[in-house]
């Protein structure tokens, strides 16, 4: 299934599609359809219908899909190489031509393929009218053109492949922007300027900051986030705010009052990743050169992997969080998305964004720490060594992604980098610990949204006190946010804290220690530690297990699977959805820098969906080793197949 786009229709289309709207809503109950107002996001199919005009009748076969045209007066569609021509148009009456021709000419002039296949029938129009048409839907149609039959069937393989190559949906069909700025094109094209998209949980002056939540639907920030101000000084022109999972809670950008974000690589409604899905799509569609996101447990890296862009999560405390609506304070990290590592590297280190301390953010590392680390930057070290964490080779890992991971390791070896296996035994507990710690912090952070102190209030006539609070929060928060608030509140309760929250914090420390053991560099936040290797399994040679000076970086997949279809996600349980974060959460728990880069997947099958042709590879470095991490990522990306 894919996307159908009805784009500002000519009058005759509007008139005839009234009953089609109703018919489709019956067939696709989950669709949100208004053929006269906005995009339709339920399917990719061919429509066969009978068109009557005088004594002639034709069967017209259309294959609709979004984005093959971006015309002001027509809807996008594509089929074979067949297009309107003068002979075909002779079959229409003069009144029909008066409405059809302008749209046809616009489409034909674009060479994008508005097509119909005609088959003349020996019967008169009225012979089939009553039997073929859905009951009750003929009376309001044009006397010249009537839709008498609607059949839905999958597109032919040739048509599907052709449509995929032509990027079937327009950029405005992915629901990735919550709002757009009024910056002029001339301003955006100015020298030394770049287009910046900002995630909707980062405060901006003049634009709403809703966190994609009903409870903040009318919120406009009176101030601007530090990171936005810093980037504006470096030439950023904010083009808009991007859609996201509500308050950053989600892995697919589906939990939003603005609707789901769609993956631009896919011909069917497919996850763009979350929670920074809108930011990743803005970069992939080139509507932004750089996008700001936040990464709590993988919310930048996962969308980057699904959308085929670069997603970078800096070391915790490097970039200011002032002006970011918090989800989990000890995990939230502001990061960047772009199409190339070069862009991020230039912003971070050429413009010295990494040296910016923010006194308004208590988690921002001090100037003295930054200067000390800069003076002690790793230079002139021995041959680089990359670790392959054994625990990331899980049963659920897609074989094609595993092959891309292996190929990347081979490329690194050929370039002179040593690649060795390492073990991170606490990784298997990281996801469970994360989904205790993050909801616990979220339940505290979101307590202020009660309609009295902060946020949109529920029905004001509905009492006061707890009644008002419960109504406001029940209506204002989405299902996933409510679930995590309840989970967090329970884990912080007196009866559960010792068994859940405290244990999760201990696991977090173990995960952190695992990373510190395998990295060559010491963690600058902690004193040198002695590590006990007695609990390690005998299957791995001791020199390949753990050690305080083992490797420089870790290479692993960003996600275990390709971007899933939205219809498949809706059938998953919350726990199954949480599994998408299994490779990204460990670095977040340890506060380490990590970057996801796109790797093309080899496939000779032209019908393979675009979202299955790219996977994310993740590089993880020691704390504050961001500069070398980006350098290695750039080197690896340049070697990967284009």
Q: Which of 318, 311, 305 is nearest to 293 (CA)?
A: 311
Residue pair 424/394 in contact (Cβ under 8 Å)? The answer is no
The answer to whether 265 and 280 are in contact (CB under 8 A) is no
Distance of CA 435 to the CA centre of its chain: 20
Q: Which of 522, 546, 519, 518 is nearest to 533 (CA)?
A: 546
Say if CB 65 and CB 6 are below 8 A apart: no
Catalytic residue among 146, 195, 199, 313: 199
Q: Is 299 a catalytic residue?
A: yes
d(CA 335, CA 511): 22
Q: What CA–CA distance (Å, rounded) separates 466 from 378?
A: 56
Pairing, β 236-242 against β 194-199: parallel
Q: How many C-beta atoms lie closer than 10 Å to residue 421's C-beta?
A: 15
Choosing from 148, 160, 213, 275, which is the catalytic residue?
Answer: 275
Computed on alpha carbons and rounded to an integer, the radius of gyration of the chain in Å comes to: 27
Neighbours of 392 (CB within 10 A): 20
Beta strand 553-557 pairing with 385-389: parallel
Active-site residue flag, 426: no
**In the annotation, is 570 catalytic?**
no
**Spatial separation of the C-alpha atoms in residues 49 and 139, rounded to whole Å:** 17
Angle (CA) 631 634 636, round 5°: 110
DSSP annotation of 173: G
Given the residues 212, 271, 299, 320, select the one marked as catalytic: 299
Please report, for residues 85, 158, 185, 204, 209, the alpha-carbon distance to residue 242 in angstroms, rounded to integers and kept in the order given.
42, 34, 19, 12, 10
Among left, alpha and beta (phi > 0; psi -120 to 50; other), residue 437 is alpha
Compute the distance between CA of residue 38 and CA of residue 32 in angstroms, rounded to an integer.
9
Q: What residues act catalytically?
A: 199, 275, 299
């Amino acid at each position: 299934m894919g996307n159908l786009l009805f784009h500002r229709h000519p009058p005759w289309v509007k008139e005839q599609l009234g009953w089609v709207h109703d018919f489709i809503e019956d067939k696709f109950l989950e669709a949100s359809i208004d053929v006269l107002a906005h995009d339709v996001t339920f399917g990719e199919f061919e429509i066969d219908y009978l068109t009557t005009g005088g004594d002639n009748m034709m069967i017209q076969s259309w294959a609709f899909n979004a984005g093959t045209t971006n015309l002001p007066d027509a809807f996008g569609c594509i089929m074979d190489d067949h297009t309107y021509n003068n002979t075909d148009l002779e079959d229409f009456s003069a009144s029909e031509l008066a409405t059809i021709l302008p749209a046809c000419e616009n489409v034909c002039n674009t060479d994008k393929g508005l097509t119909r296949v005609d088959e003349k029938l020996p019967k008169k129009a009225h012979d089939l009218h009553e039997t073929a048409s859905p009951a009750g839907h003929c009376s309001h149609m044009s006397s010249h053109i009537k839709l008498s039959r609607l059949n839905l069937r999958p597109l032919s393989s040739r048509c599907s492949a052709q449509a995929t190559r032509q990027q079937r949906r327009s950029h405005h069909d992915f629901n990735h922007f919550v709002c757009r700025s009024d910056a002029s094109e001339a301003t955006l094209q100015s020298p030394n300027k770049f287009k910046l998209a900002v995630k909707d949980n980062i405060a901006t002056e003049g634009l709403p900051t809703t966190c994609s939540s009903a409870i903040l639907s009318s919120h406009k920030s009176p101030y601007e986030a530090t990171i936005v101000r810093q980037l504006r000084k470096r030439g950023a022109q904010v083009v808009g705010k991007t859609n996201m999972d509500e308050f950053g809670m989600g892995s697919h950008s589906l939990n939003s009052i603005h609707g789901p974000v769609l993956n631009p690589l896919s011909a069917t409604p497919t996850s763009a990743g979350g929670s920074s899905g809108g930011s990743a799509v803005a970069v992939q569609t080139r509507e932004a050169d750089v996008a700001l996101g936040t990464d709590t447990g993988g919310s930048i890296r996962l969308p980057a992997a699904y959308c085929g862009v670069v997603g970078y999560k800096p070391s915790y405390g490097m970039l200011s969080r002032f002006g970011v609506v918090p989800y989990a304070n000890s995990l939230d990290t502001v990061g960047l998305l772009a199409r190339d590592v070069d862009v991020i590297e230039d912003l971070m280190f050429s413009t010295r964004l990494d040296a910016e301390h923010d006194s308004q953010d208590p988690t921002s590392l001090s100037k003295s720490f930054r200067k000390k680390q800069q003076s002690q930057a790793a230079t002139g070290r021995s041959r680089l060594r990359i670790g392959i964490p054994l625990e990331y080779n899980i049963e659920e890992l897609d074989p094609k992604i595993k092959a891309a991971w292996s190929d990347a390791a081979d490329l690194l070896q050929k370039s002179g980098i040593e690649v060795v296996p390492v073990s991170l035994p606490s990784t298997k507990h990281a996801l469970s610990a994360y989904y205790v710690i993050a909801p616990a912090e979220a339940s505290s952070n979101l307590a202020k949204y009660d309609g009295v102190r902060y946020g949109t209030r529920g029905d004001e006539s509905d009492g006061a006190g707890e009644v008002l609070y419960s109504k406001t929060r029940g209506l204002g928060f989405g299902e996933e946010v409510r679930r995590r608030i309840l989970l967090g509140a329970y884990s912080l309760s007196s009866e559960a804290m010792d068994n859940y929250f405290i244990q999760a914090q201990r696991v977090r420390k173990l995960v952190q220690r695992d990373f510190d053991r395998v990295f060559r560099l010491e963690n600058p936040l902690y004193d040198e530690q002695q590590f006990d290797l007695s609990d390690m399994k005998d299957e791995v040679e001791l020199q390949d297990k753990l050690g305080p000076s083992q490797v420089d970086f870790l290479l692993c997949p960003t996600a275990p699977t390709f971007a899933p279809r939205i219809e498949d996600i809706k059938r998953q349980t919350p726990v199954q959805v949480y599994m998408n974060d299994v490779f990204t959460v460990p670095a977040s728990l340890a506060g380490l820098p990590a970057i996801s880069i796109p790797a093309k997947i080899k496939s000779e099958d032209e019908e393979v969906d675009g979202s299955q042709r790219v996977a994310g590879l993740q590089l993880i470095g020691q704390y504050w080793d961001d500069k070398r991490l980006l350098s290695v990522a750039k080197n690896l990306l340049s070697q990967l197949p284009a």
